[in-house]
Each structure stands twice: as C-alpha cells, then as structure tokens.
Amino acid sequence: MSIKIHDIVARKSYEGDVLFRVIDIKEKKGIKEAVLYGEDFRLIADAPFSDLLKIDENERNQRHRSDLEKQDQSFRLFTQEQELQKQKSDYEASSGYRYSGNYFQMPGRVLHVDGDASYLRKCLDLYEKIGIPVNGVYCNEKEMPEKIGQLLDHYRPDILVITGHDSYSKTKGNPEDLSAYRHSRHFVQTVMEARKRVSHLDQLVIFAGACQSHFESLIRAGANFASSPSRVNIHALDPVYIVAKISYTPFMEHIRVWDVLRNTLTGEKGLGGIETRGVLRTGMPYNLTTEE
C-alpha cells in the first residue's frame, strides 16, 4: 500500500474510529511506521503501515459533514446562552442600575498557544466567529515551558490556552505515570511556569491539555480547566468553547464546571476543571458619536 505524508488514514486495530493525517514516516527494523496527527481530535499516534487504511475523499467528506453538524450544534447552544447573558446585562445596565444610556463590554482576552498550526487556524476562525479577542501562537509542545513566560509578558492575557497533541501509551506505564504520556509533562511544566508569572487562579484562567492528557497533574499544576479525566480524545475545538464561556461571563459571577462543559463536543469524560470566576467587564457610557 502506498502511503505518503499528508495522506488521510485510519487505524484498522481501532476500527477506523479516528481519522489521522500522516505527518512523518519512519522505519524501524525494516518495518515502516507513520506518525499520525488526528484530523479532528487532538491525538498523536504511531502506527505500522500494516495497520493503516487509506481514506478516500468520499468517506472523508462524509465524516467531515458529520463533524460539522456537531460543531454547528455546539455553536448554536453557545450563542443561545450568549444571548441570554446579553439580556441579563441589558437589564443590569439599564433598569437594574437605573441607567438608560449605552454601555460597552470587554470580553476576556485570550492567548492560545497550540502545538498544531492547522488546529490553531481552525480555533482562531471560531474565536473570530464568536467575537473573542485572541492572539494565537504556534509552538512545539516541548518548547512551551521555556517560551510561555515571555509570551505572557508580551500579550498579558486574561485567559491562557495551552494545547496541541498528546496520547497515553499503556506500554510505557500505568495511567498515573506522567512518563507514559506523549506531551502531558510538557503541558504540566508550561502551566507551572505560567503560574510563576500569575499565581492567582482568577487573574489568569488557564486551560491545558489535549487528547488523553493527565488531567489530575494539570489541575495540580495550576490549570483551571484541563483534559482528560477519563483519558479519552478531545475535539480540536473544545478549548475554544471552554474559554468562550469564561470570556463572556461577568467577573462578578462564578462559573460552575458543568456550565462550561455542557456545550463542548467532548463533555465531562474528556474535560474537567474547578469553579472559576468569569472575566467579562461592562462599562458605560458608550459614545456612539465619531469625530468628522
């Protein structure tokens, strides 16, 4: 079978559950192996050519349509909640505060550091669609711990996303062993370095992790939200839905964990966290006049 870099494949041993793109090809003891990045899930894997099934364009398009339907559903649910929050803000800024003028809102600013340039572009498109101010930086997972301090000093975000690819390998250790994970230790180190800059959990809200990441270590390191409690795969766009809820929740309100997770594509098996304050701030008045 002819498999090349950038081909879309699935693994026979996993019944083709996840589509991957081939990003590298290696040879070990005469056996060809492909390094795989999940097409829609933040998963990295190695697989011999004998375990790979090349996916034709028709099947790829069919799966893509199915994934888009899930994304659209999550987006609709989020926008419904956003509209309810806006109505609440309208009341508090008008009759609630006895003010009849205009007001403005400042959603939380996001720094999204991603180990996959393709996923980063998809996430930035969704941030823009939702209306969240964001700076996106592509960075290899292994380099994140040494670069995160400088990035925080430069961008000064309210919310930090640390993500990319990860995976757990039972041949390398048990689920409690960080060395059995591809990049969890790098994510943990990055969170710890970020907390050296901003220690307060509500002054810098952190999401960290990818597919099958060591959830408990990330939370202990200082993340507010992380993946993956049940060591399952998470969708590429899940971090965006997590931080969107935080970005558009007023800073005087606490966010219950389930309120953050319910509109994600993965849910509580792949994502979890701790109670956190929102970061949205409302101000007034808003001057609609412009200088000629």
Q: What is the pLDDT along the chain (292 residues), one digit of tens a residue?
A: 588 898 999 999 988 888 999 999 998 878 889 999 888 888 888 999 999 999 988 888 888 787 777 777 777 766 767 676 666 666 565 555 555 557 788 999 999 999 999 899 999 999 999 899 999 999 999 999 999 999 999 999 999 999 999 999 998 999 999 999 999 999 999 999 999 999 999 999 999 999 999 999 999 999 999 999 999 998 888 889 888 889 999 998 998 888 888 878 888 899 999 999 999 998 877 665 555 4
Tell me the pairing of strands 110-114 and 159-163: parallel
Tokens of 227: 């993946």
Distance in angstroms (rounded) separating the CA atoms of residues 36 and 7 = 10
Distance in angstroms (rounded) separating the CA atoms of residues 284 and 46 = 54
List residues bridging with 105 in a β-sheet. 282
Q: What is the CATH number of domain 64-283?
A: 3.40.50.280
Tokens of 14: 């996993």
Name the residue ranges covered by the structural domains of the chain.
8-55, 64-283
- Do 53 and 12 touch, CB atoms closer than 8 A? yes
CA–CA distances in Å: residue 210 to residues 20, 87, 213, 264: 15, 34, 6, 14
E strand or H helix at 33: strand 31-38
E strand or H helix at 130: helix 117-130
pLDDT value for 241: 87
Residue (of 121, 84, 98) closest to 248 by Cα position: 84
pLDDT value for 292: 45
- Do 108 and 158 touch, CB atoms closer than 8 A? yes
pLDDT value for 73: 72
pLDDT value for 99: 54
| Cα angle value 244/43/229 (rounded, 5°) | 65
> What is the arrangement of strands in the sheet containing 44-48, beginning at the earlier edge strand?
44-48, 31-38, 20-28, 8-11, 52-54
Position 46, amino acid: D
Q: Tally Cβ neighbours within 10 Å of residue 135.
A: 16
Q: What is the pTM for the complete model shown?
A: 0.84
**280 Ramachandran zone, left/alpha/beta (phi>0; psi -120 to 50):** beta
* Interacting residues of 160 by C-beta distance below 8 A, sequence separation 6+: 110, 111, 113, 152, 194, 204, 205, 206, 207
pLDDT value for 63: 80
pLDDT value for 59: 85
CA–CA distances in Å: residue 54 to residues 3, 59, 230: 7, 10, 29
